[in-house]
Chains A and B, each alone.
Chain A
Amino acid sequence: AQKVTQAQTEISVVEKEDVTLDCVYETRDTTYYLFWYKQPPSGELVFLIRRNSFDEQNEISGRYSWNFQKSTSSFNFTITASQVVDSAVYFCALTEDSISNFGNEKLTFGTGTRLTIIP
């Protein structure tokens, strides 16, 4: 069975500090996809990134960066120079990939990390 663990329940940092959100996953599949979603106080879920299991390159998008390491089954998310608008709950998620499952995104979510940026 798939499992996603976000051990950090809540994190608070002062604005402009860097912060890393941890995500550890378990799966028996060799092919899978990992995701990060942001849930701001307004409640909607905002897609941030998708990474497939064959692509271990780190990715950077503005102040956001992701570190995928298959050796440790981790997919960590770093926000550089944090801003108050980054305050949200962040979810890491996992889905398997197979021919029979193609496009079928049955996501397994972690429990989320509530990030508060203090002005």
Chain B
Amino acid sequence: NAGVTQTPKFRVLKTGQSMTLLCAQDMNHEYMYWYRQDPGMGLRLIHYSVGEGTTAKGEVPDGYNVSRLKKQNFLLGLESAAPSQTSVYFCASTAVLGTPYEAFFGQGTRLTVV
């Protein structure tokens, strides 16, 4: 029972490099989210998606892009990484029906930008 899987779990980038974080869920959830967690700031919503092919900005979207080409996958891209994007990134998904309002989280991706 995989739930929500994030790839990779750890990554170190140099300033200016690009990368893509992958989130995959096997629960057929409609909604998916990307959060970042910084010390003393809790989790903040970066982008979210309410369905395949649709995305929307969250609280802190600058410097990130996302895509939801398949229902089960939600990709978070950093085009030109900056040290301020050093953080732990969490992906989450929720269902419309069944157990709404309970977000299932991935295990997190620890990203360091040097």
Contacts and interface: CB of A to CB of B under 8 A. Distances in A.
Contacts of B95: 103
Interface of B: 30-31, 33, 35, 40-45, 48, 50, 58, 88, 90, 92, 94-97, 100-105, 107-108
A95 interface: yes
Contacts of A91: 42-43
Provide the main secondary structure of the chain A interface. loop
Contact of A111 (B35, B40, B96, B104): B40
A50 B42 contact: no
Interface stretch (A14-22, A41-49, A61-69, A72-80): A41-49
Contact of B88 (A43, A50, A112): A43
A111 B42 contact: yes
8 contacts: A44-B107, A47-B104, A50-B101, A104-B31, A104-B50, A104-B94, A105-B101, A112-B42
Contact of B101 (A43, A95, A110, A111): A95
A41 to B, nearest CB: 12
Contacts of B40: 9, 111
Contacts of B42: 4, 91, 109-112
Interface residues of A, number: 23
Interface of A: 4, 9, 33, 35, 43-45, 47, 50, 91, 93, 95, 97, 102-107, 109-112
Contacts of B90: 45
Contacts of A103: 30-31, 94-97, 100-101
A76 to B, nearest CB: 17
Contacts of B101: 33, 35, 50, 95, 97, 103, 105
A47 B102 contact: yes
A104 B101 CA distance: 7
Given A91-B42, A111-B40, A105 B94 contact: yes
Contacts of B100: 102-103, 105
A47 B103 contact: yes
Contacts of A43: 88, 107-108
Nearest to A44: B107
Nearest to A104: B31
